[in-house]
Amino acid sequence: MRARAVRVKTDSLSVFVRVRRVCLTLRAAPWIFGMQFFPKPHPQPFPPHTVSPSPETKRTSHPIRSTTEFARHVGLARTTVSRVLNGQPGLKKKTIERVRRAIEETGFVPNAYALHLKGKRTQTVGVCVQNLSFPILVNKLAALQSRLRDKSITTFIEVVHGDSIENAVRNFLSLRVEALVFLGYFDEEKIGRQLHSLANNGTPSLVIDHSGIKGANTVTLDRARGMVAITEHLLYLGHTRFGLLGYSEAFRSTDERIRGIREALASRGLDYDQCTEIIDDRAVRAHDFEFGRSLARAFIERGNPPTAFIALNDVIAAGAIHGVRDMGLRVPEDFSVTGFNNQDICSMVVPNITSVDQRVDKTIQVAVAFVIDQMGRPLRSKPAVKMIDPLLIVRGSTGPARAR
């Protein structure tokens, strides 16, 4: 009897232990087959200095590619999110802040191509630039991009040469740009074909710098007028013989400048061929500074040099000043020197260089105004041509002509 009682007691203890283990197991996994055996514990407060995650600021483990996915992430209707993204009125401030906060957290950007497929404007402009080796072109490109950006217009840029202009234009049209700008000087036959293609496509275009292209909307500096100003300034100082540095290249811009020199001389009854001389073949133009330096020295070494050097640009002019010094002579006491473009180097050389300012800001201001006016509108029936008046900046590199 006692033995039986011991067995019952032992069996009861064994059952109790097994039941206890089952209870612990169920408490660790409260959901089995959809039935809750034990009530869920109450949520515990977060430790001090810990912020509870909000459904509005939940993170995403994968990139968000569409407005629909973004709206699902934010927890708002897609139409509401679209209205916020498009800046439409009538939305609560709290909703706008919620969307903006989610944009910052996810880095989401609306698909521009999707917006275009819905019939919305791309707000983009393509720019074909001649090259980036000329500082003045870089300045114009930077100013153009900056002003367009201020108008919420994105700029696509292609540096073109030779036949690459055709591929660049095709790429821009495939991106559905709303206008094309050509900056610099180009092969007139090739750019003429591209302008014709753009007109057939209904895409407005503008050429900056290169003037005289048939049918082209153009904004350019009046280079001939700039050279008239330089030549008249030197004539006033008593100079009648001029060495032209870098003027042998057969570019339209060079031709325009020579035309200005001719006009200024003719107004004084002077002959261009008798008053000017070009000896560019005496030096190799590997670098403009050394090119100007070598030409100035060549003029002086040959004997009976002119009294003034008119350089194609400011860097050549700076080199010419050093070339004069190399020969033991002075500027402007022995020779006057002028540049063109009014770059920073004009103020870095002693004496400072007299030059023609291209008025880049004014040029780009006019160009951007034209582009914006033409975007999304029918093409003009007649091309627009705007000439920008240059500005002569007189500095210490020019002075009275010395008697020879």
Structural domains of the chain ordered from first start: 63-110 (1.10.260.40), 124-221+361-388 (3.40.50.2300), 223-358 (3.40.50.2300)
> What average pLDDT does the chain have?
84
pLDDT band at 296 (very low <50, low <70, confident <90, very high): very high
Least confident of 61-70, 90-99, 394-403: 61-70
pLDDT, position 82: 78
- Reported as a single tens digit per residue, the pLDDT across 1-30 is 444 444 444 444 454 445 444 444 444 444
- Reported as a single tens digit per residue, the pLDDT across 342-359 is 999 999 999 999 999 999
pLDDT for 265 beyond 90: yes
Of the chain, the percentage scoring pLDDT greater than 70 comes to 82
3-state per-residue secondary structure call for the chain: CHHHHHHHHHHHHHHHHHHHHHHHHHHHCCEECCEECCCCCCCCCCCCCCCCCCHHHCCCCCCCCCHHHHHHHHCCCHHHHHHHHCCCCCCCHHHHHHHHHHHHHHCCCCCHHHHHHCCCCCCEEEEEECCCCCHHHHHHHHHHHHHHHHCCCEEEEEECCCCHHHHHHHHHHHCCCCEEEEEECCCHHHHHHHHHHHHHHCCCEEEEECCCCCCCCEEEECHHHHHHHHHHHHHHCCCCCEEEECCCCCCHHHHHHHHHHHHHHHCCCCCHHHHEECCHHHCCCCCHHHHHHHHHHHHHHHCCCCCEEEECCHHHHHHHHHHHHHCCCCCCCCCEEECCECCHHHHCCCCCCEEEECCHHHHHHHHHHHHHHHCCCCCCCCCCEEEECCEEECCCCCCCCCCC
pLDDT, position 6: 42
Mean pLDDT, residues 111-119: 57
pLDDT, position 99: 86
